[in-house]
Structures are given as structure tokens and as C-alpha cells.
Chain A
Amino acid sequence: MFETIVGQERVKKFFRRVFSEDKLSHSYIFAGKDGIGKSAVAFELAKALNCPNNNCRKCSDCKQVLSLQHQNLHLVFPLPSVEKGEKNPIKSLSESELEQVKNEISQKAKNPYHQISVSKAREILIQSVRNLASELAFSIPEHNYSVVIFFQADKLNQNSANAFLKLLEEPPQKTLFILITESPKTLLPTILSRCQLVRFDLLSEDEIKNYLLEKGFSEEESKKASKLAGGSLQTALEIVNLDLITKFEEALNFLRVVVVCEPTQVLDLAKNLSKREKNELESLFKLTMNWFRDCLLLKAERTDKHLVFETYRENLQKFSQRYHFANENQAIEVLEKGIFSINRNVYVNLLLTDLIVQLNRAILPR
């Protein structure tokens, strides 16, 4: 059990114990950051509960679960809202949307660390919950176990969450609910109190690095990506495909402009950057944030810790000596605010100009 899952030793130990002592509850909340293996564990559980010969990975049951096509496996996730009166939210999808949903599910089957996201989908609909209730009522599996997985369970809205309560408390026999969420605290207290909360850990740098090495990435690439991933395997996979050196250089260039703060340069840079994709800017901000955090770490003399800008350690040291009075905390706050507002509708050019000036003030306090 759980052979293919990276890290999460505590969770694995928990479920092994639950199985050996036959103490499986009927409802769990899997809480933790995206891309660290919550769904992967959920799929493994579904497989273990439905395989007639002790989790063989070869029988048709196992294969069906792994391709997410097993009849006992119910997946619930946010869908675009439906017209009034329509009972089945899947039926009211347009052809292209249906295609997208299918595509997302098959991607999820290939890589459990993938995030399912359907465009225009904001909430888990009450229709989905009602559908689920009737499906479960009619399909009482003889030998097997119905496993219901909610992705982004925090997207349950007021109506759907309340409609789910009775089912969640006393489901039909042999039913397992798994609610996957990044932020369990946003769920209704009535839902929380009905489920066991299983926390998932961020993956360690080594765990991510080894996974990437196995996938055939180079030592250097894996090392850098694992440092920047922030514990998420999915993020690591995204990062490793980018050209990291240019990213670093870009961040340094950005800092250079910030330090000099010469008006024409600032305006040019802001103009150029504002043409970029928002997520690229976000990763630039995050990287710059890491620079300041590294400065703090250097100042705190936590040099045993790995710095993100390890390869630029010299520059880092020079920087923190030269700008001895720089207020890193303020800089981090400014960047945090920048990330916050860039994801909302702002005029990027203006935001960038202001951000650069503010950063300059943080580095060179008057």
C-alpha cells in the first residue's frame, strides 16, 4: 500500500494502522497545500478498498480505480452553475466544457498531483450533492466500497454543504467520504465536526529532489527546483520545466533597478514587465521575496540553512553589507502586497512602478 506516494510517512502510518485494526471511519478531511499528495492517498485508499485480492494493482478493479473509471468511485468537484430545474449538472454542460472535464479527469488519473480545474466553475453545486445521495442510495456494493472524493471541498457553498450534512453523518453502509481541501477552516463547523481531519505535510526538499531525479531531471535542476517548490511536488514539476538561471538573473536585474531607482530605468522596466503573464510576475516577486528572506537568514547567521540564492551567496553577502540598514521585513511585506494585488484587477504598470519605489525605500531607509 502507498508504494508510489512521495513522503507523507505520518499519513501512511495512520492509514496502515487504520486498516490493520479495521477502524476505518466513514469520513475524512484531507487537509494540506495543493500538490503534496492528498488525492494520491485518496486514490490508493479507493484501490485498497475495492481490490478483491489485496491491492494487487493488476486486476480490473485496480486498473479502473487508477484510471478513475471505477463505478464505486465518485468524484465531486466544482462545476459551472446550472440552469434552474436541471437535476444533473453534468448534463447541462456544453460540449466543450464536457470535453474539458473529461480531459481534466484523465490528467488527474495520469498524475494524481494535478489540480482539477474547470473554467467558470466556482462552487460545488447542490445538484452534485443531491445526485450523489441518490447514486449512493441505489448502489450498495456487495463486496466493494463506495468511495466519494470531494476535490476542493472548501468550494462547497452554503446550500450544498448543508444538504450534505445528513448524508455525511450517516451514510449508507460501506461508504467512505474523503474531503480534500487546502483550507479546512473555511468549511462549516457542522461538516468539520463530522469528519476526522488528516493533515498532510509539506514535502521535504530531499523528497522532492529524489522524485525529480527519478523522473530523469539533472541533479542541479532537481536541487534548485526542490528549493523553490515550497514543499509542493506539483510546483516543483512546474518549476523544473522553466529555465531557472534566467529566472534568477531576472530577479537580480529587477533588484538592480530597484536599488538604483533611476526614473527612466524604473519606468522602462515597469513597462516591459507589465506585458508579462501575471503568474510570471508572481514568481518573480516570490523569488525576490526569497532574496530578502535569505538576507534575513544571513543576518540571523543561520548559514547552515540552505539559501535559495545559494549560487549567488557572494552577491547576497555584498548586498547585505552594503545595504546594512535595509528593512527586509518591509520589503517582504511590500512584495506580499504586490502578489496580493497582482491577482486582482490592477493596472500592472502602475503597480510595478510603485512597488519598485517602495522597495527602494525599504532598502534605503532615509
Chain B
Amino acid sequence: MSYLVTARKWRPQIFDDVVAQESITTTLKKALETNRIAQAYLFSGPRGVGKTTAARILAKAVNCENRNDGNPCNKCVSCENSFSGRGMDIFEIDGASNNSVDDVRELRESVKFPPLTSKYKVYIIDEIHMLSKPAFNALLKTLEEPPSHLIFIFATTEPHKLLPTVLSRCQRYDFKSIPIEEIIERLRFISTEEGIKIDEGSLHLIAKTANGGMRDAQTTFDQVVAFCGNNVKLEEAQLAIGAFSEDTFFEITYAIKSKEIGVVFKTLEKISNGGFDLVEFAKGLTEHFRNLLVCSSLGNANLVPLSEFYRKKYLEEAQAFTTKDLVRLFDKTTLLESGVRHAEQQRFFVENSLVQMVKMDKGIEIEALISRIQDLKKNFENLPKSSISSFAPNENLLVKTENHEPAGEKETSKPEEIVFEDENLLEQLKKKVSEEIQILAQEFQKSELESFKEQIFTLRIFLRSDFIKKQFETNKKNIEDFLCELSGKNLRLKLTYVEEAVTEPQKTSENDTKKLTDPIIEEALNLFGGKLEKL
């Protein structure tokens, strides 16, 4: 006999071999022993968990002459017949190909006749969810009150597509996906039987990629064995399946940590040359950040579904990131994962997203920022009164943090005070002027706000030549227009001119420089970006 794939060769033949569905198999066995056999069963659950298998075993068992603890004996004539497909009383129908109402009518005709050789006539209808609505309805009467010799077994991956009237007429068994450990156990059993050496890592990898489906696992197992021969090692198995090793993802986190864009390109080059699927990569990357996030937020790696070695590595790696950053990165990767499926140029898309992730700045926690501001504020308030008053006359520095009234009010109450908004206005004005009147750009940049009261905006200009002065005079009207435009108020501009010779570098006496280094003043300057004019 030619080679048969594992999933078919090792299809369980008795209930006891069906993996991880004990609740269902025990119920069925008990029912068989006590002869309480229902007329219709519905087996539902994800792919590759044993629905069709259980259906076939049940079909055999109901007709078996010497059942052993509810299991079919697989030796008697009836079992032999169904095993070789010669049985006249077991019908397996593909619901997806025979889904029309005509097919069901035919079926209804044929169920009338009693079984030929055995006790029951069993109809297994696989993929029952594909039956059309009229077909379902045509089946209802037969399903509710079938002849006593008749058993229906339905199997489907999508029970929600069935009519409620059908559901209510069946005994329903929901098969669950198979846990990794049980898949590994079964694969280990098969490989010893087949004389194949396979290491634990590969078994774990295969079971993980199977995602709860035994058939998926066995198909992958076949593939790995076909690729690696009779001695399977993890590295080769990875190559055969195209699974990514965790190290690839650690390279990416390394790139993010060290802000090296080059690493991203290098890693992606490796990936696409190895024929790996970028969608898979994105999926793996999301999982990677999920693992990091788990480690970072829980402080341990117990929820990381990996071997001890990698758990440790994840725990270490998680130290390098704050939880907030990981959340942001995790967010990015989920976007990447959903986007890459539809991207026209997948590689560019992935590269692009990764480069952005590398370029992302480290986040600062807002709480930390606020507490820092509050600390500063406290320090500021705790200053001895004298030190404040010593520079109180200086208008440029008279911006108090605790003063949080809206700017407008402040202007009316203390018009002579120069507040933030005005400095801002000046900055905007400077920008505007340097864009529009280029000849004045340089000089205007150096100008300072002298005062701002009663709608008169007085600017101090440091001059080097009369020429510039003339230019200012000619352009004064324009600048005033900008000012009105920017502030949205009707303001007037006044320019005072100072010879360049008396600019501040010389003005700053030794005394001032000493004061300048005063930590309080420095702090204040840092905070508000003002200019120390005099003390």
C-alpha cells in the first residue's frame, strides 16, 4: 500500500484513542452501554479535533456485535465492513456537495428501507452547515421522528449556520480545541510507533503552530518528517515549517533599543531571502511584544507560552522598556499586522512601520512630568521672599506659575506686565517678519519687547547702521499690520532704537554673571526661557 498521511493512517478507531474529548467520548460510551441511543447527533467544533472521527466510531459502535466498554471491537463482521468501506448500512454524505433540497428528498426516500445486515442504518452528514435552507427544512420531519432503525450524525465546523429547529432536534456535542500538551503526547506516540526520532523543541513547535487542531499538527508533522528525514532537529523543523525563531524578534527590539535603523533592513533582508511570509512575521512580532508587555506588567514570565530559556530572556528584555512604551509599540505592531495583509508592497510596508517604531521617542509618563512640575513649583514658592523681590522689578521674569488667570484679564489688571502671551506674540511676529521682509530679518530677530500697555506695543531694536533704521521706518506700517493680524486686536507699534554698542553682552557685569549662576534664577530661566536683563 502506498504512503498514507499520518492524519489518515492514525485516525482513531475506538473512543479511547480520541484525544482530549473525554467528556464527549465518555458520554457516548455510557449511552451505548445503557442503550440510550439518540436519533440525531450534532458534532461541532473547530477543524481537526475529531468530529468526523467520533462520528465514524459511533457509527461502528452502534452496530458492533461485541462492544467492549462502549468501544467498537473492530473485529466483528459489521466493524470489518465499515472499516473497509463495504458496509451497506453506514452512509457518509458530503453535505457541501449534496446540499440542495433534491438531495435531501432522495435521502428521505432511501431512509425508509430497513438496514440490510445490521441493527441500525447510520447517516453521517459532514459539513452539514452548507445545506441550503429549503434542504434543512425538508429534513426536519424525518429528523424529528425517524424510523427506529435510523441514526443521523451531523458534523460541522460552523454550528451557528444551522437552523434552530435543526439544533433543537439533535443531541449536541461541542468538541473543544486540543491543548498543546495533548497534541505533543499524541505526536510523541505516533513518532515512536513509526520509528522517527524527534526532539522536544520540534514537537513543541509543531503543536504550537497547529493552534489546537490535531490534523493540523499531524499534517505539519508529516511535512517536517518529509523535510528532515527520520531524525528531526529543531532548526531544520523551523526551516520546514517557516516558523520564526524568537531571536529574529529580539533583533528588532534590539534595533528599537539602540535606535539603529540599519538593523531593521538587515533583518528584513534575511527574512525575505529565506522565503518567510511577512504576514507571519507581523503576527510573530505582535506576539513578541505581547510577551514583553506581559513580562513588564506582571513582573514575571509565567504567562509566556514558551520554554524556560526564552521566558528568562523575555523577562530581561522587558526591563529595557517602560510599560507605557511597550503599550505604544504593541499598538503599532497590531496596526502593522492588520495593515500588512492588504499592503500592495508588503516589504516596504513592514520596513516603513519598523523604521517608525525605531524612530519613536521614549515616552515620559505624564504623572512623572506633573510631579516634576509640582516639585519645581514648590521649590519656587519656598524661595525666601527677599530673593523674589530682589528681581521682582524685572518685568521679563515676572511670570508667576501660580498665576493661572486667563491672559486677557491679566492685561487689564496689570497692563504694564509683560506676560507669556506677549512674548509669544513677539515670537510669531519675528517669524512673520523674517519670512516677509527679508531685509529686516536679522535685525528684527534681535529685537526685544520693551513694554506693552494701552494697546501700544513697544519694541527695542538694536541698530548697527542708519540704513537699517530707515528700513524699519519704511516698513513700520507693514509690521504693525502683521501685529494686528497675529494678535487679532487693533494694536499700535512703537519702535525705539538702541545702538548696538550697548547690547547686553557688555552690559552683563561680573556681578550679574555671578547672579546668573544662581540656581534659582537658572531654574527660572530654564522654565520660562526669558532673558535676564538686570538684577
Are A196's CB and B222's CB within 8 A?
yes
Of residues 1 to 57 in A, which have CB atoms within 8 Å of B's CB atoms? 10, 13-14, 17-18, 21-26, 31-32
Given contacts A159-B130, A193-B215, contact A25 B348 (CB under 8 A): no
CB B407 to nearest CB in A, in angstroms, measures: 26
Q: Is the CB of A299 within 8 A of B127?
A: no
B contact residues around A201 at 8 Å (CB): 273-275
Chain A contact patch, size range:
35 or more
Task: Decide if A99 is an interface residue (CB 8 Å cutoff).
Answer: no
Given contacts A32-B275, A202-B272, contact A332 B352 (CB under 8 A): yes
Q: With A32-B275, A166-B94, A300-B261 given, is the CB distance from A194 to B219 under 8 Å?
A: yes
A361: interface (CB < 8 Å): no
A165 and B352 within 8 A (CB) = no
B5 touches A192 (CB 8 A): no
Which of B51-88 touch A at CB < 8 Å? none
B157 contacts partner chain A, Cβ-Cβ < 8 Å? yes
Please give me the residue from chain B that is nearest to A14 by CB atom.
Answer: B227
Enumerate chain B residues within 8 angstroms of A18, measured Cβ to Cβ.
226
Contact, CB under 8 Å: B275 / A340: no
Given the interface pairs A201-B275, A329-B355, A332-B352, the reply to whether A286 lies near B216 with Cβ below 8 Å is no
Question: Does the CB pair B219–A196 fall under 8 Å?
Answer: yes
Minimal beta-carbon separation of A179 from chain B (angstroms): 13
Q: Does B344 lie within 8 Å of A193, measured CB to CB?
A: no
Among candidates B5, B343, B349, residue contacting A25 with C-beta atoms closer than 8 Å: B5
Residues from chain A with a CB closer than 8 A to the CB of B345 are 230, 286, 289, 336, 339
Q: Are A10 and B219 in contact (CB under 8 A)?
A: no
A173 at interface, CB cutoff 8 A? yes
Query: A23 near B349 (CB under 8 angstroms)?
Result: no
> Is B48 interfacial (CB 8 A cutoff)?
yes
Whether A122 sits at the interface, judged by CB under 8 Å, is no
> Which residue, B94, B127, B215, B275, has most C-beta atoms of chain A within 10 A?
B275
CA distance A210 to B334 in the complex (A): 39
The reply to whether A10 and B215 contact each other, CB–CB distance below 8 Å, is no
Residues of chain A within 8 A (CB-CB) of B269 are 305
Complex contact B46–A10 (CB within 8 A): no
**Given A193-B48, A195-B219, A199-B275, A162 contacting B225 (CB threshold 8 A):** no
Chain B residues in 8 Å Cβ range of A299: 261
Say yes or no: B262 contacts A302, CB within 8 Å. yes
Question: How many pairs of A and B residues are in contact by the CB < 8 Å rule?
Answer: 143
CB pair A192–B216 under 8 Å, yes or no, is: yes
A344 to chain B, nearest CB (A): 12
* A14/B240 contact (C-beta < 8 A), A23-B3, A165-B96, A201-B274 known: yes
Answer whether A293 and B215 are a contact pair too, CB < 8 Å, given A21-B226, A199-B276, A300-B265.
no
Is A174 touching B2 in the complex (CB atoms < 8 A)? yes
CB-CB under 8 A from A339, the residues of chain B are 344-345
A10 contacts B239, C-beta separation under 8 Å: yes
1/0 contact string of A115-141 vs chain B (CB within 8 Å)? 000000000000001100100000000
Pick from B157, B220, B276, B347: contact of A190, CB below 8 A. B157
> How far is it, in angstroms, between the C-alpha of A340 and the C-alpha of B346 when the chains are bound?
12
Q: A14-B240, A193-B216, A289-B348 are in contact. Are A231 and B97 (CB under 8 A)?
A: no
Q: Which residues in window 157-177 of A have CB below 8 A to B?
A: 159, 162-167, 169-170, 173-174
Min CB–CB distance A108 → chain B (angstroms): 23
Q: How far is the CA of A25 from the CA of B225 in the complex (A)?
A: 12
Let me know if A297 is at the binding interface, CB within 8 A: yes
Chain A residues whose CB sits within 8 angstroms of the CB of B351 once the complex forms: 293, 296
Residue of A163, A189, A199, A300 touching B94 (CB-CB under 8 A):
A163
- A87 CB to closest chain B CB, in angstroms? 13
Chain B proximity of A61: nearest CB distance (Å):
19
Chain A residues, CB < 8 A from B216: 192-193
Q: Are B96 and A305 in contact (CB under 8 A)?
A: no
Knowing that A165-B94, A166-B97, A183-B341 touch, tell me 9 more A-B residue pairs with CB under 8 angstroms. A10-B239, A18-B226, A22-B3, A26-B5, A166-B94, A193-B47, A289-B345, A329-B355, A329-B356
Q: Which residues of A contact B (CB under 8 A)?
A: 10, 13-14, 17-18, 21-26, 31-32, 129-130, 133, 159, 162-167, 169-170, 173-174, 183, 185, 189-190, 192-202, 204, 230-231, 286, 289, 293, 296-297, 299-302, 305, 329, 332-333, 336, 339-340, 343
Can you name 15 A-B pairs with beta carbons within 8 Å? A14-B226, A22-B3, A31-B277, A129-B97, A162-B127, A166-B127, A189-B47, A189-B213, A190-B47, A192-B47, A197-B223, A199-B242, A202-B273, A329-B355, A339-B345
A-B residue pairs, 4 tightest by C-beta: A201-B275, A162-B96, A300-B261, A166-B94
